[in-house]
Each structure stands twice: as C-alpha cells, then as structure tokens.
Amino acid sequence: MADNIVKAFTELAPRYEKTMDRELRFMWGLPYRDFVNRLVQVAEVEEGSRILDIATGTAVIPLSIGAEVRDSVQVVGLDITPAMLRQGMRNVRRAPSTAHIDLVCGSAMSVSLADGVFDMVVCGLAMHHLNVARTLSEIGRVLTEDGRLNLGVVGVPLFWRSWWGEKIVVAGIRAFYRFTHGGPRAQAESDAFYNLHTGEEWRAILSASGFVDIEITEIPSRFRWGPNALFVKARLASPAQ
C-alpha cells in the first residue's frame, strides 16, 4: 500500500498544489490555500510551539504556520514521499518565512522522533491515506502531556456507509482517478475510502485513543452526497484524566 502511495504522490508532486486547488474548489468551493490557512487559524498556534505536521507533502502547512506565527515557532514536516519533500524544500527556500522548518522523510505509522516533544500535531488531507489507529498512537506518543491535535480531514456522509453507497463511491473514485491521473492514484484514493469517517466517528475514535475536548467544524460539500471538510481539534488527555 505504501509503495503505491509513494508512486501516486511522486507522479503528482510537480503539480500537487494546482491539483489540490482544483479538487477542493470542486468539492467544497474552497481554494486549497484557504483550506490550509483555515486549518492553521483553527489550530491557534502559540508562539514558541514545537509542531509536527504529519504527511506534510509540499510543506504548505508549515509555511502557513510560519506566516501566521513567524520565527518563534519550530515545525517538523514528516512525509513518506521523497518527491513531495523535494518540492517542499523548494517551497521553503523560496518563502519569505523565517520560521524554523525541518522536513523529514518517514512513515506516520512509525515516527522516528522522540516521545513527548511536540506541543501540537497537525495533519491536513492525509489521514485517509494512513492507518488511523496506528497513526493516532504515534501522535499520542510524540505529543507532550496536554498536547494538541488539529486535523483537516475529508468527512463522509452517512450514505457512503450503506452497502450501495460503498459500491457506487468506490467504483466512482476508481474510475474518476484512473481517467484523470492513472492507476497509482486511483488505487491510493480507492484504498483510502476505508479510512474516511463521519464527524461522529471521529469523535468516538479520538476519545477511544485518549483525546479530550474534541471540537469539530464542517464545510459542507457542494453536492448532496459528496464528502465534507472537517476541521477536528482535540487535546491529549493528561494521565490523571
């Protein structure tokens, strides 16, 4: 599965941001940059924070954090696809940001970073490509006590949970991406269907994984049975809780 994801995002890397912009405008009527900026604003990053951006892609989220909070913040962007990180390095070098941004190649499911070092973890548009339980366990490990989590995820409507919904949507995703991007992305996006959740499911998953103070805001889909955008905020419960 990871090989396929790396192949899909290696092909996509040179036109990733333009492609996301087109897809997010289509689904939510929202430019990609506005989605990222909204995720960062909802996160309310504090000065001096140490932040891990899981599946950072081309480093657009770290750069948006840097623009918001400037040089007092330290961001590590982690991603499994070297081509996305190379594009990210170019973006970081070109940007006027003075924030301290490091990009690291590795998997979100086994993060090679020390325990309890990050005040916040963010992840945008990527949880559906990850094993959610394993990633949340790694997030819980690297966060400080009381550390915060901010996700920008694709949320699913209840129709997608029905037998017909699943068949129609998986076939539709496969056909759409095969036609527009080719096999690897079609496979990566149709596999990702099974990691997509409704807002209520996210609440249950996060509380079972030791998170509290869960808040979810939503941008509805432009289509009746389309996916919505969810901004999910939570805090790691302290051991006493």
Ligand X SMILES: C[S@@+](CC[C@H](N)C(=O)[O-])C[C@H]1O[C@@H](n2cnc3c(N)ncnc32)[C@H](O)[C@@H]1O
Residue 45 gets which letter from DSSP?
P
Quick one: 78 exposed, middle or buried, by C-beta within 10 A (0-12, 13-18, 19+)?
buried
In the stretch 41-70, what mask flags binding to ligand X with x, by CB under 6 A?
--------------xxx--xx---------
Give the separation between CA 84 and CA 105, rounded to whole angstroms.
10
Distances (CA, A) of 137 to 6, 23, 54, 134, 208: 22, 30, 13, 5, 11
**Least spacing, CB of residue 207 vs ligand X, in Å:** 24
| Residues in contact with 183: Cβ distance below 8 Å, sequence separation at least 6, in sequence order | none
Instruction: Work out whether 187 is an interface residue with ligand X (CB under 6 A).
Output: no
84 lies in the binding site for ligand X (CB under 6 A)? yes
Part of the chain binding ligand X (CB under 6 A), chosen from 79-87, 90-98, 142-150, 217-225: 79-87
| Residues of this chain, 96-125, that bind ligand X according to CB under 6 A | 107-109, 124-125
Residue 5 engages ligand X in binding (rule: CB under 6 A): yes
Cβ at position 178, least distance to ligand X in Å: 18
In terms of Cα–Cα distance, which of 143, 131, 135 is closest to 239?
143
Place of tokens 């129609």: 168
Shortest CB 238 distance to ligand X, Å: 27
List of residues contacting ligand X (CB under 6 A):
2, 5, 9, 20, 36, 55-57, 60-61, 78-81, 84, 107-109, 124-126, 129-130
